[in-house]
Amino acid sequence: MTKPILLSTPHMGDYEQKFVQAAFDTNWIAPVGPHVDAFEQEFCQLIGAGNAAAVSSGTAAIHLALRLIGVEKGDDVFCSTLTFTATANPIIYQGAKPVFIDSDRTSWNMNPDLLQTALAKRDRLGKLPKAVVLVHLYGQSADIEPILSICNRYGIPLIEDAAEALGATYKGQSPGTFGKIGIYSFNGNKIITTSGGGMLVSDDPEIVSKARFLATQARDAAPHYQHSEIGYNYRLSNVLAGIGRGQLRVLDERVAARRRNYEIYNSTLGKLPGVEFMPEASFGKATRWLTCLTINPQAFGADREQIRLALAAEQIETRPVWKPLHMQPVFADCECIGGEIAEDLFARGLCLPSGSNLTLEDLHQVIEAFTAVHTNTKNNL
């Protein structure tokens, strides 16, 4: 049996195990320690953030961000609709309500014009949201500048969910470093991983030290255990921070490898009728964390699901593009501004195997199986 070709798997470099060994050697097997401090500093340097707090997941980082901004019961929070549920779940944890916003075609991310219209309307009604959560999807930055300036006009803090966009740029800078708070994920399928982990960044050092405080059970400065606020157990293990330090050293290589995957797919599958790749917006450099495309079933001769199933039969894992959150049963009662573009991307969009550890042979197999779906349908006409 041939080995399955998966969507995105961990890819360790040469230093991760050495850092982990150092944690064992010094017995720093704790949710604090020298690797955590160094990981935060090295992360800030690499992406140009002011301050960072390493936490147990990207979801935890989003939860802390909302809490730090003061989102609470009864508040509305505007949020990209085309994303993973982890973006919006913490809005619910805070007792607030997400209002979803559709994508644009240029970046597949939040449409600044829709945000503008929606905020102007909410302003007239005196019902502005408490925060905007902006997602940078599949390794591509959203169009941050107009979104940030709209948010600033209404005095609404911007939280950037850059879980999928570490290593990308927007006008030369890292997405995640523009808003009041940015978050990243080191889950196993992300561009670099600590097996599980996340980072919260902000230019405001007080926000980040408050994040560390809340992430370690909100313990007051006292010799005994004293608590004046409800906190969480959200800090990253020093062992896992060691993995993160190793992974930071290879981030550039991982980005290059994923972009190479895209180039190879695009130069082959891009020639097939009805296949269109996720565009790279002119304002930045995408990492192609996942290579995504849309299918025009009439032109191609098969639809997205037929392709996905045909590849699955060859042990090749692909995934539909994120199901928009406004279509999710759990968010059925939430408002959505627009939605047709995200719905179309979901209906016709497919993510191809995109790991930085894929071999040319793996890519070749994917291309062959994908092309065969087209060839077979053509022959059956």
Ligand X SMILES: *Cc1c(COP(=O)(O)O)cnc(C)c1O
Contacts of 142 (CB under 8 A, 6+ apart): 80, 107, 109, 110, 134, 135, 136, 170, 175
Please name the residues in contact with 174: beta carbons below 8 A apart, sequence gap of 6 or more. Answer: 47, 48, 49, 162, 166, 168
Listed residue (193, 191, 158) closest to 177, CA to CA: 158
Shortest distance, position 56 Cβ to ligand X, whole Å? 8
Is residue 141 within 8 A of residue 284, CB to CB? The reply is yes
Backbone angles phi, psi at 247, to 5 degrees: -65, -35
- Length of the chain in residues, anyone? 381
Task: Confirm or reject binding of residue 83 to ligand X (CB under 6 A).
Answer: yes
Stretch that binds ligand X, among 67-75, 102-110, 160-168, 279-287 (CB under 6 A): 160-168
Q: Which is nearer to ligand X, 191 or 302 (CB)?
A: 191
Distance of closest approach, residue 98 Cβ to ligand X, in angstroms: 13
Does residue 79 belong to the site contacting ligand X (CB under 6 A)? no
The sign of the torsion formed by the CA atoms of 317, 320, 324, 330 equals: negative
58 touching ligand X, by CB under 6 A = yes
Q: Does 198 bind ligand X (CB under 6 A)?
A: yes
CA atoms of 195 and 129, how far apart (whole Å): 34
Interaction of residue 87 with ligand X, rule CB under 6 A: yes
| Minimum distance from residue 162 beta carbon to ligand X (Å) | 8
Q: Rule CB under 6 A: say whether 90 interacts with ligand X.
A: no
**Contact between 200 and 69 (Cβ < 8 Å):** no
Q: Which residue is nearest to ligand X (CB)?
A: 58
Does 102 engage in binding with ligand X (CB under 6 A)? no
For position 59 contacting ligand X by CB under 6 A, the verdict is yes
Establish if 140 lies at the interface with ligand X (CB under 6 A): no
Min separation Cβ 176 and ligand X, Å = 11
Can you give the binding site for ligand X, defined by CB under 6 A?
Answer: 57-59, 83-84, 86-87, 135, 161, 163-164, 185, 187, 198
